[in-house]
Structure 1
Amino acid sequence: MSGYTSNPKRKPIRVWVDGCFDMMHYGHANALRQAKAMGDYLVVGVHSDAEIEKHKGPTVMKEGERYAAVAACKWVDLVVPDAPYFTSLEVMDQQNCDFCVHGDDITTLADGTDCYQAVKEAGRYRECKRTQGVSTTELVGRMLLMTRDHHKRRSSIASINNEDLSTFSSSASKQSPETKISHFLPTSKKIVQFSEGKEPAAGDKVVYVDGTFDLFHVGHIEFLKRAKALGDYLLVGVHDDQTVNAIKEVNYPLMNLHERVLSVLACRFVDEVIIGAPYSVDNNVLSKVYKVDIVAHGNTPSLPDLNGKDPYEIPKSLGIYVEIENPSAELTTSKIIERIIEHRKMYEERQARKNEKAKLEAEAERSEKKE
């Protein structure tokens, strides 16, 4: 929601944000939320794979996936593909944007130039608060390590060789031991900021879906879009960390419950979330929050509950269970991790560069404070 009151005589304030948005996460969404609150219409420029490779290194997600992920964020009004890495006044003017917004961290070109220097000099730069504890680099680090303090190592990820994973984790841990755990501290304020607080209207058809929603991606987005189209109000259950780990029996989830909830809440197709929903859809889920009319699931097999039962047994018996065909179903959290594993050397080098850059930036910031 914009922080500005509606006035028909006032020219709408158009805000520009640009970035890579690789593995779109709740930190990206929070920056877009803050940017939208500074104006009325949010335009987001997303860099191409080639542009990012030139200045930053390889991306995890392909550009089409990144464009779709940004477009699904509920605070975004327009996505501009293939935006230049160096924030351009010319492109901002083409989009009739009054100013651009970026987080309070440093972004530079390959040669060390400040990407926002021209906009700053023109007085058209605003800053928002960066979300601590998450970044694409940090998430890649978690995948390099594939370990979480509250999970035990069990079986290998499907189709990933254990020796490869072990070697990868060992070399990655030397790069940055801090990436092995989440530093996100959940607060009620953040949940409220991301939540619309919208209730279903009388007569609305309520659709319920559930899942892990780890490393929120376009496969999840397309599924939620199709689920919402089945009714008027979409209620999403997000399973807790212990349940996910017990059911999947590998080092999942990579993101903790509250991180995953925020990613789901930021999606424009979602109306409400059940935090820590039971794995099996029971009568409490179907009636205690809202009366659920449809329970939907993708057309891929679901793992049984710990008691061996079908988690959708009750909605199926009530005749309210629907399967959704998802053209993006082949993109999964495991597939994203496989991309990292497959190109591990390349990502290890990228991590090393990013860590070195972070150290230099921290040292520069300390020097400035001393002066």
Structure 2
Amino acid sequence: MMRNGYPEQALDKESVRRPVRVWCDGCYDMVHYGHSNQLRQARAMGDYLIVGVHTDEEISQHKGPPVFTQDERYKMVKAIKWVDEIVPGAPYVTTLETLDKYNCDFCVHGNDITLTVDGKDTYEEVKNAGRYRECQRTQGVSTTDLVGRMLLMTKAHHSMEVTLDYQKHQNNLSKDARGHSPWTGVSQFLQTSQKIMQFASGKEPSPEDTIIYVAGAFDLFHIGHIDFLEKVYSLVEKPYVIVGLHFDQEVNHYKRKNYPIMNIHERTLSVLACRYVAEVVIGAPYSVSADLLDHFKVDIVCHGKTDVLPDRDGSDPYAEPKQRGIFRAVDSGNSLTTDDIVQRIIKNRLEYEARNQKKEAKELAVFEAQQRREHIINGQESK
């Protein structure tokens, strides 16, 4: 048969491009916006993104105990909007066999380094085969950094002074430490409008959408938040979920202690990366006002089963949506809180301090070896 003047079979071969399948893998422990940004960049390199997630056993062997269980980590990664498929229990060392098994053209990793328990590059085989691509690591965050914040737990842990104190604290853990790994060392996250645009869907609500509003801190964006947002998303056929994020000072006022762990800019990206969220209101008011409901044309307001503290004037922050009859209490079936995660860290403080120290020491050794190699090569070239 002919189509557009060409044999149909030949036209199909020319016009149908095979989808590019991309592989990423990792621990994805305490999934944060750095992980999401890596996966966003990886997805942009192809048409279909498969993410392999390691088991608790493998992570414990190579890095030390994970904060989250493997089932929690599987669900967190699956909820990131750039992920098409996950592979539970992916091997810690990435091989050509794994890429071929899932029909992936190449794998993508950040421009940091991942090492096995004996200090070998986990991507060495795929790098040598030319099936490795690199993306930019997101500065200012890592699981090591977040664990460090929780171990430190001061009210000013977002400030530069306290960041420097944490670096000194890490140095004091090891007498042999002479510096910091460039990959997991603490640095300040600087938000940009471009980064928000990259994470945002840019999708406007359609007339058929039901606009649902939820508000909170969403600090250390975790599996409890995911379960809640998934439940909210499933309430109606065509949901458009808007998340209102409270400013750091507001969160500290009602949560007390030393919260939030992550600042408003970090929390914004973490929430925007979730596939159940369409939009984020940065610095939303604590009380859900008539102005806010009218401005966003909100149909439903939801809150979880956690206690709702009164506003500063003693009023119910959900009085207006309750009066309009659009308030719903949603039970996600998951009672995990940010405080619970902090307690996991504190309970195993020595283990996590040792894990952080061990990881950074290995990375620092590799980094110094790379610098020595580059120095030798540069010296030879200049002769």
TM-score of the superposed pair, with normalisation by structure 1: 0.89
Confirm or deny that 1:314 pairs with 2:355.
no
Q: Percent identity?
A: 57
Contact 1:149/1:181 (CA < 8 Å) preserved in 2? no
Q: In the alignment, what sits opposite 1:184?
A: 189
Matched, 1:211 2:216: yes
Residues 183 and 171 of structure 1: is their aligned pair in 2 closer, same or farther, counting only changes over 3 Å?
closer
Matched-pair contact (CA < 8 Å) for 2:149–2:157: no
2:24 to 14, 17, 21: 17
CA shift at 1:360, angstroms?
A: 2.2
- Assess if the C-alpha contact under 8 Å between 1:206 and 1:294 holds in 2: yes
SS where residue 17 of structure 1 aligns? strand
Q: Give the structure 1 partner of residue 268 of structure 2.
A: 261
Please, which of 317, 325, 337 is the counterpart of residue 342 of structure 2? 337
Q: Does 1:293 align with 2:299?
A: yes
CA contact (8 A) 2:242 2:278 kept: yes
| 1:265-276 superposed matches below 5 A | 265-276=272-283
Q: Which has the larger radius of gyration?
A: 2
The residue type equivalent to 1:60 in the other structure is V
Is contact 1:214-1:255 (8 Å) kept? yes
Unpaired runs of 5+ in structure 2?
1-13, 160-165, 377-383
Cα distance in 2 for partners of 1:230, 1:274 equals 21
Offset of 1:275 from its aligned partner? 0.5
Query: Closer, same or farther in 2 for the Cα pair 1:111/1:318, shift >3 Å?
Result: same
Alignment gaps of 5+ in structure 1: 1-6, 153-167
Counterpart residue type for residue 306 of structure 1: R
Aligned twin of 1:115: 122
Letter in 2 for 1:187: T
The DSSP-based 3-state class of the residue aligned with 2:206 is coil
Which moves more between the two structures, 87-96 or 351-360? 351-360
- Structure 2 counterpart of 1:195: 200
Q: 1:84 aligns with which of 91, 103, 111?
A: 91
Kindly provide the amino acid, as one letter, of the partner of residue 337 in structure 2: T
SS in 2 for 1:311: coil
Q: Quote the residue 1:239 is aligned against.
A: 246
SS at match of 1:198: coil
Q: What's the offset of the Cα at 1:62?
A: 0.5
Classify the secondary structure of the residue corresponding to 2:321. Answer: helix
What are the Cα deviations for residues 24-69 of structure 1, in whole angstroms up to 9, with x where unaligned?
0000000000000000000000000001111111100000000000
Instruction: Note the alpha carbon deviations across 1:65-102, whole angstroms, 9 max, x for none.
Output: 00000000000000000000000211211111110000
CA contact (8 A) 2:157 2:261 kept: no
Q: CA deviation at 1:300?
A: 2.2
Change (3 A) 1:295 1:173: farther
| Cross-structure match for 1:105 | 112
AA aligned to 2:316 is D
Find out whether 1:350 has 2:378 as its counterpart: no
Q: Comparing 342-351 with 359-368, which one deviates more in the overlay?
A: 359-368
SS at match of 1:352: helix
**CA displacement at 1:354 relative to structure 2:** 2.1
Count how many residue pairs are aligned between Structure 1 and Structure 2.
Answer: 348
Q: 2:380: which partner in 1?
A: none
RMSD: 2.4
Q: Give the AA of the match of 2:200.
A: S
1 CA distance for matches of 2:308 and 2:333?
Answer: 17
Counterpart code for 1:341: I
1:304 to 300, 303, 310: 310
Partner of 1:357: helix, strand, or coil?
helix
Aligned to 2:46: 39
How far is the alpha carbon of 1:357 from its aligned partner? 2.5
Q: Is the 8 A contact 1:17 1:44 kept in 2?
A: yes
For residues 19 and 150 of structure 1, the distance between their equivalents in structure 2, rounded to whole angstroms, comes to 27
What is the TM-score when the length of structure 2 is the normalising length? 0.86
Which residue, out of 233, 244, 248, partners 2:255?
248
**Is 1:141 the counterpart of 2:144 in the alignment?**
no
